[in-house]
Amino acid sequence: MAQVGWVYLDDFGNRNRIGVYHGDRTGHLLIHCNLRVIQVDFSVKESRTYSFFVEDELCEVSIVKEKEGFSYDFQVNKKVDTPRNRLRRTEERRNRKHIALFLGGLVLLLTVAVIGFQRYGRMQRQKYLGATSLTSRLTPEYEQRMAGEGKKTEATLLIVEQGLQRRIYYGFLTEKNKQVSGLFSVPDTGIIILPNGFPLEDRDAFEVKYLPSEPEIHRVDFSQPTNQTLAAYLQRALEAEQRAHPEASPGRSLCITKLAMEQKGWQRLADLIFQQYPPDKNLDHNRDSYFRLVRETEFAQSVARECWDK
């Protein structure tokens, strides 16, 4: 006699034990649920399906005739029209609606986030350009054009005093030898500090990018000094290091200055130039930033290793 059993866990968490007894010779069939007989059939020697309810769920036990013997299967029929399945379909429609609303809200949120990030990126880009560059008529549309069409050259800056005022003039030549110039005002007294943190001196030069068709649309990038200007920054940092440490040999001062540029980047030369300035005079480059530089472990070890005999 074949004996097969299943455990069906209903929606309320109840365990229901369904079993089948099927006689090998007689074919007599008995189906029971939770030790209660619910179906009896005789001489079952072909494939058949038996339906019965467990609580409000329509369940089916299938007897399938194989080449040798029978196979047995238990399923809950969720398609036939029953009160429980009608309720299930109502719940499924409601769940699909909730899922659709959730996905729609998620898509809307992601769309708003993407647009927000793009706008934030543009704002940060404009903020960066304003902090590091001098621009002329550079709208976002022109900036996109410049990214693909722009040409690069060098712009030289000059300090000009007009009466009691100081102004900075700059100029550059396009690839067609057209002279382009501009100017901007600066404080009438004191050191002129560029957006890159360095003091301006006559004939400092920086990369400028312009539209060949309209070179009046351009950007002078103070984060891209020319090699000549970098050499001038190095010399000014060396002079500041020698003034602040007259007891050190010129060779040691030069060694420290070059190490700062090679290991930390040319931007850190501003810390050497302004090393005797208190923080309230220069927030970014001052006595404190200089001490942070020279006391940084790796840099201090390099100075001790490479500059001790200078």
Cβ atoms within 10 Å, residue 48: 14
Whether residue 126 has pLDDT greater than 50: no
Summarize the confidence of residues 154-177 as an average pLDDT: 90
Whether residue 131 has pLDDT greater than 60: no
201-211 confidence digits (pLDDT tens): 999 999 999 99
**129 confidence band (pLDDT: 50, 70, 90):** very low
Whether residue 84 has pLDDT greater than 60: yes
Q: Which two tokens stand for residue 160?
A: 């000009």
19-52 confidence digits (pLDDT tens): 999 998 899 999 999 989 999 999 999 999 999 9
**Helix (H) and strand (E) counts for the chain?**
7, 13
Phi, psi of 191 (to 5 degrees): -75, 140
186-242 confidence digits (pLDDT tens): 888 888 999 899 999 999 999 999 999 999 989 999 999 999 999 999 999 999 999
Q: What is the pLDDT of residue 257?
A: 95
First-to-final CA distance of the chain:
102
Sort 88 into a burial class: Cβ within 10 Å, 0-12 / 13-18 / 19+: middle
Range list of H helices, the chain? 83-132, 140-149, 227-244, 250-264, 269-273, 287-295, 297-306
CB 41 within 8 A of CB 28: yes
CB 174 within 8 A of CB 180: yes
CB 20 within 8 A of CB 72: yes
Closest CA to 303 of 236, 235, 233, 245: 245
Q: Of the given ranges (28-32, 52-56, 169-173, 258-262), which has the lowest mean pLDDT?
A: 52-56
Looking at mean pLDDT, say which of 61-70, 124-133, 180-189 comes out highest: 61-70
Q: What is the pLDDT of residue 130?
A: 47
Q: Which two tokens stand for residue 55?
A: 């609580």
Summarize the confidence of residues 273-284 as an average pLDDT: 93
Q: What is the pLDDT of residue 121?
A: 54
Whether residue 73 has pLDDT greater than 90: yes
Sort 258 into a burial class: Cβ within 10 Å, 0-12 / 13-18 / 19+: middle
Q: What is the pLDDT of residue 189?
A: 82
Whether residue 276 has pLDDT greater than 70: yes
**Average of per-residue pLDDT values in the chain:** 88
Summarize the confidence of residues 265-294 as an average pLDDT: 94
Phi, psi of 219 (to 5 degrees): -140, 120
All domains of the chain in start order, with CATH: 2-78 (2.40.128.180), 134-225 (no CATH), 229-306 (no CATH)
pTM score: 0.60
Whether residue 101 has pLDDT greater than 50: yes
Q: What is the pLDDT of residue 118?
A: 63
